[in-house]
Amino acid sequence: MKRLALILVLVLALGMLGTAFAEEQSTIDRILQQGYITVGCSLSGMPIGGYDEDGNPCGYDVDFATKLAECLGVELQIVDCNGDTRIPMLTSGQVDCFFANCTGNLTRAQTIDFSIPYLRCGVKMLTAADSPYHVIEDLNTPDAKVAVGRGTTNEQLVLTLAPEANITYADAFTEQQLLLEQGRVDAVFEDSTLVDYAAGNSDGRLVAQDKLYTSDPICIGARKGDLEWVRYLDMFVSWQISSGWQSETYYKWWGTEPSGMQYLW
């Protein structure tokens, strides 16, 4: 009798552990059952994320969050987050995932899980539309003038690959862009999201040259260990890329084709 009682206790305990494990792994089931998903988005800078004239969230990341909710067939709740708050909000359960211009790296992966990249960023070269310079090696001559920020990755890139170039230092990208538009420099180097946006909104006066000199994967953040949820997010991203929706959405906000598409997989 005691043995039977012990077996029953063990069965019940294992059942409770199994239920707890299932609950821990059921983010997608919970979202579907409750009928809404809460997503963190960084709304501090367009075109990644911001607010429209009516005060509603908008931007590239917001469109991705909206598409995810649409694919799940649930309502979307967006919570504003930033570089300091996005991971704590995720790990504390305030959001189910985030699209927050976050680079997936090994340090962050110790705390949270990441989807495959839904955007690829890196340093790109911005020139005038009629420029004879198309890659950084073309600038390796004293006749070429380049604007970069002092002490930046961009400066080191120029010093390494185009050491003969004539460098003008300007910390703000807006100042570098102005120098380029005024014809006082031949090229500037900055993050591809800024370069593509500047080119796409220049009425054809500026061109974002094709080559990406660094490569940073921008991924969806998810709570660590929820493998079913991460797998779904991977499939979601993969489908948006293969269907062409990702490219169309990027063009909508930047006015150019997305950078580093060949590296998204």
pLDDT digits (tens, 9 = 90+) for 109-142: 999 999 999 998 889 999 999 999 999 999 999 9
pLDDT of 189-213, one tens digit each?
Answer: 988 888 988 998 899 999 999 898 9
Q: Which stretches of the chain are DSSP H helices?
A: 2-24, 27-34, 60-72, 86-91, 153-161, 173-181, 192-200, 227-242, 245-254
**Structural domain includes residue 203:** yes
Across residues 158-172, what is the average pLDDT?
94
Residues 108 and 234 in one domain: yes
Residue 27 has pLDDT above 80, yes or no: yes
**Structural domain includes residue 13:** no
pLDDT of 70-115, one tens digit each?
Answer: 999 999 999 999 888 999 999 999 999 999 988 898 999 999 999 9
Confidence at residue 116, expressed as pLDDT on a 0 to 100 scale: 96
How would residue 256 be classed by pLDDT, with cut points 50, 70 and 90? Answer: confident
What are the structure tokens assigned to 173, written together?
A: 């990208």
Instruction: Give the range of the structural domain holding residue 251, as residue numbers without chain letter.
Output: 28-120+216-263
Number of domains in the chain: 2
Across residues 170-183, what is the average pLDDT?
92
Across residues 237-254, what is the average pLDDT?
94
Q: What is the DSSP string of 209-259?
A: -S--SS-EEE--EEETT-HHHHHHHHHHHHHHHHTTHHHHHHHHHHSSPPT
Q: How high is the mean pLDDT of the chain?
A: 88
Chain CA centroid to CA 151, Å: 24
Residues found in the chain: 265
**Structural domain includes residue 90:** yes
Across residues 217-233, what is the average pLDDT?
95
CA gap 34, 133 in Å, rounded: 55
Residues 40 and 99 in one domain: yes
Which region holds residue 200: left if phi is over 0, alpha if psi is between -120 and 50, else beta?
A: alpha
pTM: 0.72
User: Residue 248's CB: how many other CB atoms inside 10 A?
Assistant: 12
Query: Residue 160: exposed, middle, or buried by beta-carbon count in 10 A (0-12, 13-18, 19+)?
Result: exposed
Across residues 241-265, what is the average pLDDT?
79
Residues 98 and 227 in one domain: yes
How would residue 21 be classed by pLDDT, with cut points 50, 70 and 90? Answer: very low
Residues 54 and 112 in one domain: yes
